Amino acid sequence: MEVGAYVPVALFLFAVIALVFAPLMTWVERKQSALMQDRIGANRADILGIKAIGLLHPIADAIKMITKEDTVPDGGDRLLHTLAPIIATVPAMISFAVIPYGGSYQAWGAEWDLVVADLDYGVLYIFAVASLATYGNVLAGWASNNNWGMLGGIRVAAQMISYEVAMGVSAVGVFMIFGTLRLTDMGFAQQETFRLLGFVEHLGWVGAGTWWVELIKIPMWGIFLQPLAFFLFLTALMAENKRAPFDIPEGESEIIAGYFIEYSGMKFGLFYMGEWVEVVVISGLMTAMFLGGWSIPYLPDDVLVEFLRHGVGLNMANVLAMIAHVATFFLKVIVLIWFQQLIRWSVPRFRYDQVMNLGWKILLPLSLANIVITGLGILIIGEIMN
């Protein structure tokens, strides 16, 4: 873990994600929900008549939140009440540290790795940090000295513990396929392609180099190798994020607003911001693990750089490749964010028992089955290859 010169750049990008993406998310969400509910949404905020398709709303939100009175309920715990939103938000932000949003580039004698910390146990780091966010929500419920808040806190604790199990177990299949927990290694591995029909050749049914075997090539993305794990992991992550349809800790029709019932002003804003950053993190993680990370399908990094250097020279080729890769990464992230919005506004909220059943009786057994199937698959493929 040596600290390189790329850290300022990395940190800058990282700050952009947290501070630009999160406010934008509010706008996206409003627009999306309006679209899906057949109404015109987010069009009131205007400065001198300029509405800018509702893009001013995030600014209005920020002004409102900051200027609102900050209250701590009577009999509540002042210290924890203040700490809770911070504890809930910070983990989401720092978990972006291990997600690579680009590969490795040589330009002007320096090496640029587009990841803040390339840890050997990358995915585990995210799991570990994400599990800390629970404290923020649980403590918020406790510190509010409010029965609804308390119920919300209990629900958060139960939901988090339940879904962490499924989350961890469903990711194991991916670790088995790529043989690593390091997200950059996964990214590099996913640049490869494999021949879908390659097995007929290995089994000796047709000769080597048959044209139709070479024809169908698929990128080695996690989603193609582990389709079941993709959906299980995404579901578990969304449940960890506690947004609709998994928002039973808030459940405003049952327990009013759950753990942040007694929050106002920027403290309340922090909770929301935490959730939105989490949505981005989820999408980033899913992209890195399942959607090939920064890689452009059928176009490995070195091929791209090699192609570009003929026109613009090595340094600029690297820079262009970097820009292309970062753009690809964020495109994938945006698609995933949109997908999550789609789910959020399509599916009604689960009941408490349904959420628990889904976690323990469906996700967990399926994840375990996925591990067994993956193991068998690896064994069989290993046999065929030899």
Partner 1 sequence: MTEQVIFYVSAFVALISAAGVVLNVRNTLYAALCLVITMLSLAVLFILLNAEFIGVLQVMVYAGAIVVLFLFVIMLLNIRGGDMGADRQPVLKVIGTLLIVGASVKLVPLLSESRRAWPEVGPEFGTVRAIGGTLYTDYLLAFEIAGVLLLAGIVGAVVMGKQRID
Residues numbered 249 to 278 that lie near partner 1 (CB under 8 A) are: none
Q: How far is CA 155 from CA 69, 138, 158, 251, 355, in A?
A: 28, 9, 5, 10, 10
Name which of 188 and 330 has its Cβ closer to partner 1.
188
CB-nearer residue toward partner 1: 65 or 97: 97
Q: Which of 28, 42, 129, 239 binds partner 1 (CB under 8 A)?
A: 129
Stretch that binds partner 1, among 23-31, 61-69, 121-129, 285-293 (CB under 8 A): 121-129
Residue type, 150: M
Secondary structure (3-state) at 205: coil
CB of 127 to partner 1, least distance (A): 6
Please give the Cα distance from 171 to 184 (Å, whole number): 16
Q: Please list every residue from 179 through 218 that binds partner 1, using CB under 8 A.
A: 180-181
Please identify, using beta-carbon distances, which residue of 105 and 142 lies nearer to partner 1.
Answer: 142
What phi and psi values does residue 104 have, to the nearest 5 degrees?
Answer: -120, 130
Of 169, 97, 113, 159, the C-alpha closest to 134 is 159
* Pick from 62, 65, 128: nearest CA to 94: 128
- Of residues 56-95, which lie at the interface with partner 1 (CB under 8 A)? none
Stretch that binds partner 1, among 122-130, 206-214, 267-275, 373-381 (CB under 8 A): 122-130
Q: Which stretch binds partner 1 (CB under 8 A): 30-38, 63-71, 106-114, 129-137?
A: 129-137
Toward partner 1, which CB reaches closer, 181 or 304? 181
Write down the least CB distance from residue 156 to partner 1, Å: 9
Q: Which alpha helices (DSSP H) does the chain contain, by range?
A: 7-16, 22-36, 57-67, 78-94, 122-143, 147-178, 183-189, 198-202, 211-215, 222-225, 227-241, 252-255, 265-290, 301-312, 314-346, 352-357, 364-385
The span of 28-36, 117-125, 188-196, 263-271 binding partner 1 (CB under 8 A) equals: 117-125
What's the closest the beta carbon of residue 2 comes to partner 1, in angstroms? 12
Segment contacting partner 1 (CB under 8 A): 134-142, 242-250, 322-330, 341-349? 134-142
Cis upstream peptide for 297 (omega within 30°) = no
x/- track of binding to partner 1 for residues 142-181 (CB under 8 A): x-------x--xx--xx-xx--x---x-----------xx
Phi and psi at 76, nearest 5°, equal: -80, 170
Query: Which are the contacts of 316, defined by CB distance < 8 A and separation ≥ 6?
Result: 308
Q: With respect to partner 1, which residue has the nearer C-beta, 2 or 69?
A: 2
**162 within 8 A of 246, measured Cβ to Cβ:** no
Q: Could you say which of 86, 128, 218, 347 contacts partner 1 (CB under 8 A)?
A: 128
CB of residue 375 to partner 1, shortest distance in Å: 12
Angle between helical axes of 227-241 and 265-290 (0-180°, round to 10): 170
**Binding residue count for partner 1, defined by CB under 8 A:** 27
Tokens of 217: 């090539």
As measured in angstroms, the least distance from the Cβ of 119 to partner 1 is: 8
CB 311 to partner 1: min, Å:
39
To the nearest whole angstrom, how small is the minimum distance from the Cβ of residue 232 to partner 1?
19
User: Do 45 and 80 touch, CB atoms closer than 8 A?
Assistant: no
Contacts to partner 1 by CB under 8 A: 119-121, 124-125, 127-129, 131-132, 134-135, 138-139, 141-142, 150, 153-154, 157-158, 160-161, 164, 168, 180-181
